[in-house]
Amino acid sequence: MLLQVLGTAAGGGLPQWNCACPGCSGARAHPERRRRHASLAVQAGEGTWYVVNATPDIGDQIEDGAGLRPGPGRRRTPVAGLVLTDAELDHTLGIARLREAERLEVVATAPVREALIDRLRLGAVLDPYTSVTWRELPRRGDGPLDGGTSAVRISALPVSGKRPRYAADAPDDDAWVVALRLYDTATGASAVYAPALAAWPERLRQAAAEADLVIVDGTFWDDEEPRRSGISDRTATGMGHLPIDGRGGTAELLAPLSARCLYTHLNNTNPLVDPAAPQHKRLADLGIEVACDGMVIEC
């Protein structure tokens, strides 16, 4: 199974356009620290890829991903579709950016699909430009990533009922935010991708324990970070993100796993955006990494 990390930043990216915090200022002074919005590309077959989450950076992310660039035909693209883990704007605004496609397939859970169609009116916006096909992301069992013959199978692991602000009054559903389990039937390898985590439910625990690769939400280093940095009056968990450090933090959950474990979706306030921060060594001592934009991972 072949994966490309297309971005590793939380909403706003790094640097965020209207922020002069130490993380954003450091990224402006040191361009190598810049991070695009969190996204992942998964190879479904030879010359066929699915992009997980359509971020505002999706055009540049496709251009920088060697396996994702168009060709050899003039309008032939290896990007066959999108998989969405939630309906947040930083994971969906890029859908409209792909309006030049001859056709577009979007794989999502029912509440995410309904929010994008009924609340953001994406169907009405895109219909004059391209043909969009919506496919259900399976919550029970799994299915081929491409909906057909791909050896890579995908399933959704519900992790949160957190709705985006524009759908705050929408019905409750535990699949508003999901993690993804990817399983390669050809090799037996499996991966878990969970860029937004408000909880660590049993199905996720089991999938992570069996996985060869686990990439998870690293938005905030500790629970008080949003309040301490002044970006919110809520804690990390109050904002729907399990912190990395502290009792019950995700580092404590990842450390015992046999899988290769990496963090993604870093907020600009997270000390990990500075390569010299001592928190990197603390994670390294636990055998945990921080994902970088452009990483190619085979598992």
Please determine, for residue 115, whether its predicted confidence score (pLDDT) is greater than 90: yes
**How does pLDDT run across 193-218, given as a tens digit for each residue?**
999 999 999 999 999 999 999 999 99
Q: pLDDT band for position 103 (50/70/90)? A: very high
Question: For residue 284, what are the contacts with CB-CB under 8 A and spacing of at least 6?
Answer: none
pLDDT of residue 66: 83
pTM > 0.95: yes
Q: What is the mean pLDDT of the chain?
A: 97
Identify the structural domains of the chain with CATH numbers, from first to last. 2-298 (3.60.15.10)
H/E segment holding residue 91: none
Confidence tier at 272 by pLDDT (50, 70, 90): very high
**Amino acid present at 290:** V
Give per-residue pLDDT as tens, 237-270. Answer: 999 999 999 988 999 999 999 999 999 999 999 9
Q: How many residues does the chain have?
A: 299
Q: What is the pLDDT of residues 22-65, one digit of tens each?
A: 999 999 999 999 999 999 999 999 999 999 999 999 999 999 99
Cβ atoms of 134 and 155 closer than 8 Å? no
Number of other residues whose CB lies within 10 A of the CB of residue 237? 18
pLDDT in tens, 123-160: 999 999 999 999 999 998 999 999 999 999 999 999 99
